Amino acid sequence: MSVHVRLFGGLRERAGWSTRELDAATVADVWPALGLGEEPAGLLYAVNREYAERDRELRDGDEVALIPPVSGGSLLVTAEPLSVEAAVAEVADERAGGIATFTGTVRRQSRGREVTHLEYEAYPEMAEEVMAKLAADLQERHDLCAIAIHHRVGRVEIGEPSVVIAVSAPHRQAALAACKEAIDTLKETVPLWKKEVYEGGEEWIGRGS
C-alpha cells in the first residue's frame, strides 16, 4: 500500500525531509521503511489525523503522521503526593514566555454531602498512554515548549492536590489555552475513577467528574 508519511520536530530534522511516499501494509511497517535507525521511545502514530496503534492496517493514500515524544515535562500516575513546584520545574524552558498551571484539589463538600477523603483508581498503563497522546496533541496544536501532567491514585485527603498540570509555551495565550484543554480532556478520556467517601457512605464516580 502506498501511503503519505509526514514527520515533525526532531524527526523531520533527523530525516532531512517532512513528507514522503512509501509502501507499508500496517503502521508498524512505517518506521522500518524510513531507514532512520532505532525507533524513538514514546513515538506516536496518527492515520488520517487520528491516533492509531501499530497493528492498524493501511490503505492506499492514507496519511501517516509520526509524532515525536513530548519534549520536556512528564506524564505521571502516582500514589505519592503531588508538587506544583516539581511540575513547573519539569516544563521550565528558555524558549518559554509563560508557564500556566492547574491544580485540582479535594474539596470538603460535594453534591450536598460532607466528604472525608477521596480514593482514586486508574488503569495506569493505559492512563499514561492516553496522557501521552493528549500531551503530544496539545504540544503540536499549541506550539508548546513542554507539558507535565501528574495525577494521584490511592487515598487523597481534603485540600491535597489530586492532579497537577503545568504547561510552558513561548506565548501566554497558548499556555493558558493548552492548560485548560488538558484538564478538560483528561477528565473525559483518561481511565481514572474516584470514590467519594462521606460521613456514613461512599460512591464511585466515573470519568468526567
Say what the pLDDT of residue 206 is. 63
The string of DSSP codes covering 110-143 is ETTEEEEEEEEEE-HHHHHHHHHHHHHHHHHHHT
- Every domain of the chain with CATH number 3.90.1170.40 lies at 75-205
Say what the pLDDT of residue 140 is. 86
- CATH class of the region 2-67: alpha beta
- Using the 8-state DSSP alphabet, how is residue 3 labeled? E
3-class secondary-structure state, position 97: coil
Q: Cα–Cα distance between 209 and 193 in angstroms, integer?
A: 9
Say what the pLDDT of residue 116 is. 97
pTM listed for this prediction: 0.72
* 80-102: pLDDT as tens digits: 999 999 999 999 999 999 999 99
Q: Cα–Cα distance between 17 and 82 in angstroms, integer?
A: 41
Q: Cα–Cα distance between 161 and 167 in angstroms, integer?
A: 17
Question: Would you identify the CATH topology of the domain 75-205?
Answer: Aldehyde Oxidoreductase; domain 3 (3.90.1170)
- Every domain of the chain with CATH number 3.10.20.30 lies at 2-67
3-class secondary-structure state, position 80: coil
Say what the pLDDT of residue 168 is. 97
Say what the pLDDT of residue 97 is. 97
Residue 164 pairs with which residues in a beta bridge?
Answer: 103, 150
Say what the pLDDT of residue 9 is. 67
Say what the pLDDT of residue 129 is. 82
Which residue numbers in the chain have pLDDT < 70? 9, 69-72, 206-209
Residue 113 pairs with which residues in a beta bridge?
Answer: 110
